[in-house]
Amino acid sequence: MSPPLRILGIETSCDETAASVVLRDEEGAGRILGDVVLSQLEEHSAYGGVVPEIAARAHVEALDTLIEEALLRAGVTLEEIDAIAATSGPGLIGGLIVGLMTGKAIARATGKPLYAVNHLEGHALTARLTDGLSFPYLMLLVSGGHTQLILVKGVGDYERWGTTIDDALGEAFDKTAKLLGLPYPGGPAVERAARTGNPERFDFPRPLVGDARLDFSFSGLKTAVRQAAQSLEPVKEQDIADICASFQRAIARTLKDRVGRGLKRFKADYASVDQPALVVAGGVAANQTLRATLQALCDAHGFRFIAPPLELCTDNAAMIAWAGAERLAAGLPADGLDVPPRSRWPLDTRAQALIGSGKRGAKA
């Protein structure tokens, strides 16, 4: 049992500026005391994607105010904070510099320890904040920059079982939306269009289905979508809806195969775990069709399915603060003020990098 911990979290890895104060109590349970997120959607929508220079400038302009607001909502002062946690990678280097340097400045001024947090670790540990989940468990990370199946064994202890060999799932959604003339961000736009579409009109490929590996691939699916759209030019509104619905159906079937194999492996390797769990994290985890697919898959395999609240699936500082609290409670050392930001930072440093995965500058 450890004393209660109040951690200030800072997140600036891409296009959301966020600050949060999280409490980890004596029993290890978590509670968000104050949480503020400022989206930069309007600043980037005209460009159809995130512009790194604009994102970094927006972080500079907003971060101090957001930290003050998070502390105010939490009802605590900096003196009552036990540690500072700031995202230091992976992500856009300009934004990471803003958040990490701010965290360093606060740590230096207050004498509090600093934890430079891996953004992906924030996602990996969120289910322990929201649901009190015990180790080990399986996590599917699906976002604009990453598609990975990760075994979460403990704080700081992760094993990558599968990753994308080309495009991340979120990238496939965004590029499909852009191809079809749908607005940014692409994921929600594709999901909205798919609601009125026929998912059986197009028989899109399901990459790597049946493969013994647990890796993912989405570039071939993206190419098939482009070819279908080109064959129909000019595409009508119903064509777009049908393409989006068929695209989502292909992804759902791909995840059913890929993740299903991962669930079988977990049961074989961890037969002693009474209630195995699959956690889904990352921005694409907000997609309701994919959530329903994963829920049904978990039900069929006897797994508990955990999908954090939507606001904790996308980039946020509460998960960063919680990761800092977990590291502090586990007795892991704080970071020095010379810790650098890292645009690339794999969660499993022992895993072999695959060609085309983990593209520099991609949103985590």
CA separation for the pair 326, 154 (Å, rounded): 10
| Residue 187 in marked binding region | yes
| Residue 174 in marked binding region | yes
User: Do you find a cis peptide bond into 90, omega within 30 degrees of 0?
Assistant: yes
Task: Name the DSSP letter for residue 133.
Answer: P
> If we measure between CA atoms, which residue out of 302, 292, 228, 306 comes closest to residue 255?
292
| Residue 142 in marked binding region | yes
Contact assessment for residue 126 and residue 109, using Cβ atoms and an 8 Å cutoff: no
SS3 category, 163: strand
| Residue 242 in marked binding region | no
The residues near 271 (Cβ < 8 Å, ≥ 6 apart) are none
CA separation for the pair 67, 362 (Å, rounded): 25
Residue indicated by tokens 């071939």: 220
30-39, strands of its sheet edge to edge: 30-39, 16-24, 5-11, 83-89, 114-118
User: 215: number of CA atoms within 13 Å, CB side?
Assistant: 16
| Residue 141 in marked binding region | yes
> Token pair of 139, please?
């996590």
| Residue 144 in marked binding region | yes
| Residue 191 in marked binding region | yes
| Residue 278 in marked binding region | no
End-to-end CA distance of the chain: 33
Is 1 exposed, middle or buried (CB count within 10 Å of its CB: 0-12, 13-18, 19+)? exposed
Give me the torsion for CA of 321, 322, 327, 328, rounded to 10°.
70
Q: How far is CA 258 from the centre of its chain?
A: 18
| Residue 143 in marked binding region | yes
CA separation for the pair 139, 136 (Å, rounded): 10
Residue indicated by tokens 């064509």: 239
CA separation for the pair 58, 206 (Å, rounded): 39
The amino acid at 12: T
| Residue 118 in marked binding region | no
Binding residues for substrate: 141-145, 174, 187, 191, 287
Residues of each annotated binding site for Fe cation: 119, 123, 315
Residue list for the binding site? 119, 123, 141-145, 174, 187, 191, 287, 315
